[in-house]
């Protein structure tokens, strides 16, 4: 399985414990040991959970983010992603 940058929707499904996503995530973590997500996805998840006042889910996500690679966005990284 290739290294993957998780998008906001996938993270949301994972946090909601969607069985298929959890199964894929478990397999991914067995191989890569941590998730990778962009700072934009981090912002969207944190903002959504704060808006819903979902404190327990927010704490769980922040723990997950602490164990993950949270990548900043630069013009170069966005251009490279757009080109692929």
47-58 pLDDT tens trace: 999 999 999 999
User: Is pTM beyond 0.75 here?
Assistant: yes
12-45 pLDDT tens trace: 999 999 999 999 999 999 999 999 999 999 999 9
Sequence spans of domains, the chain: 5-75
How does residue 78 score in pLDDT terms, banded at 50, 70 and 90? confident
What confidence score (pLDDT) does residue 77 get? 80
- 44 or 1, greater pLDDT: 44
H/E segment holding residue 19: helix 19-32
CA nearest neighbour of 6 among 53, 61, 56:
61
CA dihedral 72, 74, 76, 82 (to 10 degrees): 80
Q: How do beta strands 36-38 and 5-6 pair? A: parallel
- 51 or 82, greater pLDDT: 51
């Amino acid at each position: 399985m290739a290294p993957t940058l998780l998008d906001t929707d996938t993270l949301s499904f994972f946090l909601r414990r969607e069985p298929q996503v959890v199964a894929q995530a478990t397999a991914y973590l067995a191989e890569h040991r941590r998730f990778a997500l962009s700072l934009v996805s981090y912002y969207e998840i944190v903002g959504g959970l704060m808006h819903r006042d979902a404190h327990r889910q927010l704490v769980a996500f922040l723990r997950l983010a602490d164990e993950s690679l949270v990548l900043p966005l630069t013009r170069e990284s966005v251009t490279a992603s757009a080109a692929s």
